[in-house]
Amino acid sequence: MKQEYLQHIEEFLMNNDIDFDKNRSLKSYTWIQRGGVVQFWIKPDSIEKIKSIVSYLYKTQINFYVVGATSNLYFQNDYHPEVVISTLRINKIAINKDYVVAECGALSSKLSVECIKNNIEGFEGFTTIPGTIGAAVCNNSSCFNSCIDELIDHIEVITKNGCINLNKNDLNYKRRSSIFKRKEIEGVILRVFLKKQIALNPELLIKNTEKFKYYRKKYQEKPQHNLGSVFAEIELKNTLQIMIWKMFKKLLKIIHIKKDKQLKLNKQLFFIIHGKFKMSYYVSDFSFNCFVWKDNKADVMFFKYKSFIERISKKTELEIEIVDRNYFKQYK
């Protein structure tokens, strides 16, 4: 029955005027150009259209994945999903007397700009985040003191049983995690209702935004070819290598080496002292927690890197999401 419905998706999409691509490589769409072939890449351009296709897929029990900018998603090259829905065309932002209302595919950076234009504070840090507001809610994103869990009032979600509203407490936020990311709920975020707080000092919003942009450009990896921080949490073991590395970090600060050079030297020593010099080529000069997909060999190296960090740590928790054929088995 599932395969029969899958064959009728194209007809449903055309009858409901929902744009789509068929049998395309995910490499054409994903942030780091990874992934297999997707049967249907669906591009709804309104809330009503995404509700329509999501309801159809729930009814027909066809697995689907919802994505925004994919700047936090690592699709595996051997994973060939049936249906992926892109939210990027569902991107309206409205400001009313009570809330800032953003559709799920609105870019966090664009939302930040709109809020600053309207003297609304709390969103300045999001100007440097490449993802969508829907992803920010799912991932419990924060950047430069702008925290989604402090800004959100409630969200509108479509589930198998229809549309519901969830408030911040319902999302059960933990560090870089929510009930959506932990697969504790099946649902698609439609709209996000955010607190509207007028700034007492509008000029400070602009000043802080420029400061954040400068810091990110100067001291963080450029957004291309990486997914940001790989791990939400890393607690390193107290090994001899780690102790030496920490002492080296302190020494660089004492002798007043410039910060960008400090970061690069810290990264290089971290991998050299563990005998992983070749691995360091694929890791950002600014942080050992940022992997860069520089070439086709990076996919093999990533899992070696992931295993290495986990081995030298007491505790780790992934921040990026690895999307493979086992994804739908994770729902609780």
The answer to whether 305 touches 291, Cβ cutoff 8 Å, is yes
CA atoms within 13 Å, Cβ hemisphere of 205: 21
pLDDT reported for residue 332: 44
**Cα 38 from Cα 30, distance rounded (Å):** 12
- What are residue 163's phi and psi, to 5 degrees? -90, 140
Q: What is the pLDDT of residue 327?
A: 77
If one counts every other C-beta atom within 10 angstroms of the C-beta of residue 66, the result is: 21
The residues spanned by each domain of the chain are: 2-89, 93-206, 228-318
Give the pTM: 0.92
pLDDT tens, N- to C-terminus, the chain (332 residues):
466 767 789 999 999 999 999 999 999 999 999 999 999 999 999 999 999 999 999 999 999 999 999 999 999 999 999 999 999 999 999 999 999 999 999 999 999 999 999 999 999 999 988 999 999 999 999 988 889 999 999 999 999 999 999 999 999 998 889 999 999 999 999 999 999 999 989 899 999 999 999 998 888 898 889 999 999 989 999 999 999 999 998 898 888 888 888 899 999 999 999 999 999 999 999 999 999 999 999 999 999 999 999 999 999 999 999 999 887 655 54
- The fold of the 2-89 domain, in CATH, is 3.30.43
Tell me, which fold does domain 93-206 have in CATH? 3.30.465
Residue 40 to residue 23: CA distance in whole angstroms? 6
Determine the distance from the C-alpha atom of residue 90 to the mean position of all C-alpha atoms in its chain, rounded to a whole number.
17
2-89 and 93-206, same CATH topology: no
